[in-house]
Amino acid sequence: MAHRKTKPSSTGVRGEPLRQRVIEAAERLLRDGRADFSMRDLASEAGVSFATPFNQFGSKAAIMHTLSAHRIDTMESRFVASPPLTDATERVLLAIDTAAAVMLEEPKVNRAVMGWLGTASSTPGQVWERSTALWTLALGTGDGLIAARREQALRSLPGQLAFAFRGVLSFWTAGELPDEALAPNARALASTLLLGFTDGKTIR
Protein backbone atom coordinates (compact mmCIF):
# COMPACT_ATOMS: atom_id res chain seq x y z
CA MET A 1 0.00 0.00 0.00
CA ALA A 2 1.42 3.36 -0.98
CA HIS A 3 1.46 6.21 1.50
CA ARG A 4 1.70 9.88 0.75
CA LYS A 5 5.07 11.11 1.88
CA THR A 6 5.58 14.40 3.64
CA LYS A 7 8.69 16.39 2.91
CA PRO A 8 11.13 16.79 5.79
CA SER A 9 10.14 19.78 7.87
CA SER A 10 12.26 22.87 7.44
CA THR A 11 10.97 24.30 10.71
CA GLY A 12 13.05 21.90 12.79
CA VAL A 13 10.35 20.03 14.70
CA ARG A 14 11.95 18.64 17.83
CA GLY A 15 11.23 16.34 20.75
CA GLU A 16 8.22 14.16 21.27
CA PRO A 17 6.16 15.17 18.19
CA LEU A 18 9.08 14.22 15.94
CA ARG A 19 9.65 10.94 17.78
CA GLN A 20 5.95 10.20 17.38
CA ARG A 21 6.13 10.75 13.62
CA VAL A 22 8.94 8.23 13.38
CA ILE A 23 7.10 5.69 15.55
CA GLU A 24 3.89 6.05 13.54
CA ALA A 25 5.85 5.58 10.32
CA ALA A 26 7.42 2.39 11.70
CA GLU A 27 3.95 1.10 12.59
CA ARG A 28 2.73 1.75 9.03
CA LEU A 29 5.69 -0.07 7.50
CA LEU A 30 5.12 -3.06 9.75
CA ARG A 31 1.41 -3.15 8.85
CA ASP A 32 2.44 -3.20 5.19
CA GLY A 33 4.54 -6.31 5.88
CA ARG A 34 7.84 -4.46 5.67
CA ALA A 35 9.47 -5.66 8.88
CA ASP A 36 12.84 -5.52 7.12
CA PHE A 37 12.56 -1.77 6.51
CA SER A 38 15.77 0.23 6.58
CA MET A 39 16.28 3.44 8.49
CA ARG A 40 16.25 5.22 5.13
CA ASP A 41 12.85 3.66 4.36
CA LEU A 42 11.66 4.80 7.76
CA ALA A 43 12.87 8.37 7.27
CA SER A 44 11.13 8.52 3.91
CA GLU A 45 7.88 7.14 5.33
CA ALA A 46 7.99 9.62 8.22
CA GLY A 47 8.85 12.53 5.94
CA VAL A 48 11.97 13.43 7.88
CA SER A 49 15.67 13.63 7.13
CA PHE A 50 17.70 10.42 6.95
CA ALA A 51 19.48 11.29 10.19
CA THR A 52 16.33 11.91 12.21
CA PRO A 53 15.49 8.30 13.21
CA PHE A 54 19.10 7.85 14.31
CA ASN A 55 19.11 11.12 16.22
CA GLN A 56 15.84 10.34 17.96
CA PHE A 57 16.33 6.64 18.72
CA GLY A 58 19.85 5.57 17.82
CA SER A 59 18.94 2.31 16.08
CA LYS A 60 16.12 0.25 14.62
CA ALA A 61 16.30 -2.05 17.64
CA ALA A 62 15.62 0.92 19.93
CA ILE A 63 12.60 1.84 17.82
CA MET A 64 11.24 -1.68 18.20
CA HIS A 65 11.83 -1.52 21.96
CA THR A 66 9.80 1.69 22.00
CA LEU A 67 6.98 0.02 20.07
CA SER A 68 6.99 -2.84 22.57
CA ALA A 69 6.85 -0.40 25.47
CA HIS A 70 3.82 1.23 23.85
CA ARG A 71 2.11 -2.18 23.77
CA ILE A 72 2.74 -2.64 27.47
CA ASP A 73 1.36 0.84 28.14
CA THR A 74 -1.81 -0.17 26.27
CA MET A 75 -2.07 -3.39 28.29
CA GLU A 76 -1.77 -1.42 31.50
CA SER A 77 -4.32 1.23 30.58
CA ARG A 78 -6.86 -1.40 29.52
CA PHE A 79 -6.29 -3.41 32.67
CA VAL A 80 -6.83 -0.32 34.81
CA ALA A 81 -10.04 0.44 32.90
CA SER A 82 -11.42 -3.07 33.51
CA PRO A 83 -13.99 -3.77 36.24
CA PRO A 84 -12.11 -3.78 39.57
CA LEU A 85 -11.10 -7.08 41.14
CA THR A 86 -9.56 -7.57 44.58
CA ASP A 87 -8.31 -11.16 44.44
CA ALA A 88 -4.69 -11.20 43.23
CA THR A 89 -5.08 -14.41 41.23
CA GLU A 90 -8.12 -13.09 39.38
CA ARG A 91 -6.29 -9.83 38.72
CA VAL A 92 -3.25 -11.62 37.26
CA LEU A 93 -5.39 -13.77 34.99
CA LEU A 94 -7.31 -10.70 33.84
CA ALA A 95 -4.00 -9.02 33.06
CA ILE A 96 -2.92 -12.09 31.09
CA ASP A 97 -6.11 -12.02 29.02
CA THR A 98 -5.75 -8.28 28.49
CA ALA A 99 -2.12 -8.53 27.42
CA ALA A 100 -2.82 -11.41 25.05
CA ALA A 101 -5.74 -9.51 23.49
CA VAL A 102 -3.50 -6.51 22.80
CA MET A 103 -0.92 -8.70 21.08
CA LEU A 104 -3.57 -10.46 18.99
CA GLU A 105 -5.09 -7.23 17.67
CA GLU A 106 -2.27 -6.93 15.14
CA PRO A 107 -0.45 -10.28 15.13
CA LYS A 108 1.75 -9.52 12.12
CA VAL A 109 2.95 -6.22 13.54
CA ASN A 110 3.43 -7.53 17.06
CA ARG A 111 5.32 -10.63 15.96
CA ALA A 112 7.70 -8.35 14.07
CA VAL A 113 8.17 -6.16 17.13
CA MET A 114 8.73 -9.16 19.40
CA GLY A 115 11.25 -10.58 16.99
CA TRP A 116 13.48 -7.55 17.55
CA LEU A 117 13.45 -7.57 21.35
CA GLY A 118 16.39 -9.93 21.57
CA THR A 119 18.46 -7.71 19.30
CA ALA A 120 21.31 -5.80 20.89
CA SER A 121 20.88 -2.05 21.09
CA SER A 122 23.33 0.70 21.94
CA THR A 123 21.16 1.60 24.92
CA PRO A 124 19.08 -0.84 27.00
CA GLY A 125 15.34 -0.73 26.46
CA GLN A 126 12.69 -0.47 29.18
CA VAL A 127 10.64 -3.52 28.24
CA TRP A 128 11.70 -5.51 31.31
CA GLU A 129 11.00 -2.60 33.64
CA ARG A 130 7.59 -1.88 32.13
CA SER A 131 6.57 -5.52 31.97
CA THR A 132 7.48 -6.07 35.61
CA ALA A 133 5.49 -2.95 36.53
CA LEU A 134 2.44 -4.38 34.73
CA TRP A 135 2.53 -7.56 36.78
CA THR A 136 3.14 -5.60 39.97
CA LEU A 137 -0.02 -3.66 39.18
CA ALA A 138 -1.88 -6.90 38.46
CA LEU A 139 -0.93 -8.44 41.80
CA GLY A 140 -2.15 -5.37 43.66
CA THR A 141 -1.82 -5.78 47.41
CA GLY A 142 -1.82 -9.56 47.15
CA ASP A 143 -5.35 -10.11 48.46
CA GLY A 144 -6.20 -13.81 48.37
CA LEU A 145 -2.59 -14.98 48.61
CA ILE A 146 -1.28 -16.86 51.64
CA ALA A 147 -0.64 -14.18 54.26
CA ALA A 148 2.66 -15.67 55.40
CA ARG A 149 3.97 -15.70 51.82
CA ARG A 150 2.40 -12.50 50.56
CA GLU A 151 5.49 -10.35 50.97
CA GLN A 152 7.59 -12.89 49.10
CA ALA A 153 4.96 -13.14 46.36
CA LEU A 154 4.80 -9.39 45.84
CA ARG A 155 8.59 -9.26 45.71
CA SER A 156 9.26 -12.19 43.37
CA LEU A 157 6.16 -12.85 41.27
CA PRO A 158 6.20 -9.68 39.10
CA GLY A 159 9.56 -10.61 37.60
CA GLN A 160 8.64 -14.27 37.26
CA LEU A 161 5.38 -13.38 35.52
CA ALA A 162 7.29 -11.05 33.19
CA PHE A 163 9.65 -13.89 32.28
CA ALA A 164 6.77 -16.32 31.85
CA PHE A 165 4.67 -14.13 29.58
CA ARG A 166 7.72 -13.20 27.51
CA GLY A 167 8.54 -16.89 27.15
CA VAL A 168 5.09 -17.77 25.86
CA LEU A 169 5.24 -14.77 23.50
CA SER A 170 8.55 -16.00 22.09
CA PHE A 171 6.99 -19.28 20.93
CA TRP A 172 3.99 -17.37 19.54
CA THR A 173 6.35 -15.00 17.74
CA ALA A 174 8.16 -17.94 16.17
CA GLY A 175 4.87 -19.31 14.86
CA GLU A 176 5.04 -22.43 17.05
CA LEU A 177 2.05 -21.32 19.07
CA PRO A 178 -1.17 -20.40 17.21
CA ASP A 179 -3.05 -17.24 18.11
CA GLU A 180 -5.81 -19.10 19.92
CA ALA A 181 -3.26 -20.82 22.18
CA LEU A 182 -1.52 -17.65 23.37
CA ALA A 183 -3.82 -16.69 26.26
CA PRO A 184 -4.53 -20.26 27.50
CA ASN A 185 -0.82 -21.12 27.68
CA ALA A 186 0.04 -17.83 29.36
CA ARG A 187 -2.78 -18.37 31.89
CA ALA A 188 -1.58 -21.92 32.61
CA LEU A 189 1.96 -20.76 33.25
CA ALA A 190 0.83 -17.87 35.47
CA SER A 191 -1.42 -20.26 37.38
CA THR A 192 1.51 -22.58 38.02
CA LEU A 193 3.58 -19.70 39.40
CA LEU A 194 0.71 -18.66 41.67
CA LEU A 195 0.04 -22.14 43.10
CA GLY A 196 2.68 -21.83 45.80
CA PHE A 197 1.02 -18.72 47.16
CA THR A 198 -2.67 -19.70 47.07
CA ASP A 199 -3.25 -22.55 49.56
CA GLY A 200 -3.30 -24.97 46.65
CA LYS A 201 -6.74 -23.84 45.52
CA THR A 202 -7.68 -24.60 41.94
CA ILE A 203 -6.90 -21.79 39.53
CA ARG A 204 -8.81 -21.74 36.25
Per-run averaged pLDDT (10 residues), the chain, 204 residues: 40 66 96 94 95 92 91 96 95 98 96 83 74 96 96 97 96 96 97 89 54
Q: Which residues contact 201 (CB under 8 A, 6 or more apart)?
A: none
Global pTM value: 0.84
pLDDT value of position 120 = 63
How far apart are the C-alpha atoms of 135 and 128, rounded to whole Å? 11
pLDDT value of position 199 = 79
- Nearest CA among 2, 3, 32, 6 for reference residue 17: 6
pLDDT value of position 7 = 39
Q: How far is CA 45 from the centre of its chain?
A: 24
- Nearest CA among 190, 122, 120 for reference residue 158: 190
pLDDT value of position 184 = 97
pLDDT value of position 189 = 96
pLDDT value of position 9 = 39
